[in-house]
Amino acid sequence: MSALVTEFEPAAGTLVGWMSQATGYRVRRLAGRDDHLLLLTRDGAGLIRTAAGTVPVPPGTIVHLDRASPQDYGTDPAAGRWGFWYAHLPAGDTLDALLDWPAEQPGVSRLVLDRRIADRVAAALEEASMLLPSPGRHSGALARNALERALLWCETRNPRAQQVDPRLWQVLEHLHTHLAEPLGVPELAEVAGLSPSRLQHLFTDQLGGTVMAHVESRRMERARLLLQSTELPVGVIAAQVGYADPLYFSTRFRLRHGVSPTGWRQRLPRPPRAD
């Protein structure tokens, strides 16, 4: 069967989806793209081709094709089919810091995930793929959170990253999905199956700060994202990130950023008005 070689160029911006392709599927972009491309194999196998050789992408493997590097990937003929999740991520985002993976070939890095982690990454990518086409005003922010969650799970299997106790990853995932709820040290210690004092010690030792300082950082990060990507009132955003009192939320936001939530939003660049 002759190879179906394409130079298909998806639109710029974040794009996440699923593909299942038979032998002959191959994509070549010799000039690369100005974004990051992730490929996670779920069944069959893929094959990345570079000037230095090939990189196999069997099930449980996720690869990162770096921005501006030549791209040449497709179904591994030996496998006969390739079922995979893909994600195009714009360069220059804060998520870039989570893509420092071991290099296999120039422009190609790879992680091997165990079944449990691969399932979590795939679930997060699927969630992002369903959110991105949604017209909901929060869909973009929620999709980005899902993508960050996928990359954070990848980070647990990244040999170049500081290895964090798996119980702390449980706490971090809980934070991602429960920021609107009361989150104190006792509640989070229960999530981790640890005593409050042991959880506090692990946080300080491995993440470099107290539990509650990390909780506030995550809340403020989510608040900034909602201020930027939605038109929700400040009081509603406060509730969505775990502050029952909007005035207290505004005080904490000002202490961290030097400006109120409303002032921070007003400083954001405005999209050009349509004529």
Instruction: Per residue of the chain (275 residues), give pLDDT as tens.
Output: 334 444 444 445 688 999 999 999 999 988 888 889 999 999 999 999 999 999 999 999 999 999 878 999 999 999 999 999 999 988 877 788 889 899 999 899 999 999 989 999 999 999 999 888 766 666 777 888 889 889 988 988 898 876 778 888 889 888 888 999 999 999 999 999 999 999 999 988 887 789 999 899 889 988 988 888 788 999 999 999 999 999 999 999 999 989 999 999 988 776 544 44
Residue 6 · residue 75 · CB < 8 Å: no
Give the pLDDT of residue 268.
77
Q: What is the DSSP letter of 93?
A: S
Q: Label each residue of 170-221 as H, E or C.
A: HHHHHHHHCCCCCCCHHHHHHHHCCCHHHHHHHHHHHHCCCHHHHHHHHHHH
What is the domain partition of the chain in residue ranges?
A: 4-114, 164-267
Name the CATH code of domain 4-114 (choices 2.60.120.280, 1.10.287.610, 1.20.1270.360, 2.40.30.110): 2.60.120.280
Return the CATH fold of 164-267.
Arc Repressor Mutant, subunit A (1.10.10)
pLDDT of residue 183: 93
Distance CA 157, CA 163 (A): 8
pLDDT of amino acid 140? 77
Nearest CA to 219 out of 183, 169, 165 is that of: 183
What pLDDT is recorded for position 33?
85
Cα(256)–Cα(272) distance, rounded to whole angstroms? Answer: 29
CA–CA gap between residue 106 and residue 49 (Å, rounded): 11
CA 146 to mean position of chain CA atoms: 6
Report the 10 Å Cβ neighbour count for 241.
20
- 230-239: list long-range contacts, CB under 8 Å, 24+ apart: 230/137, 230/138, 230/141, 231/137, 232/137, 234/261, 234/262, 237/261, 239/180
Residues 226, 232 contacting (CB under 8 angstroms): yes
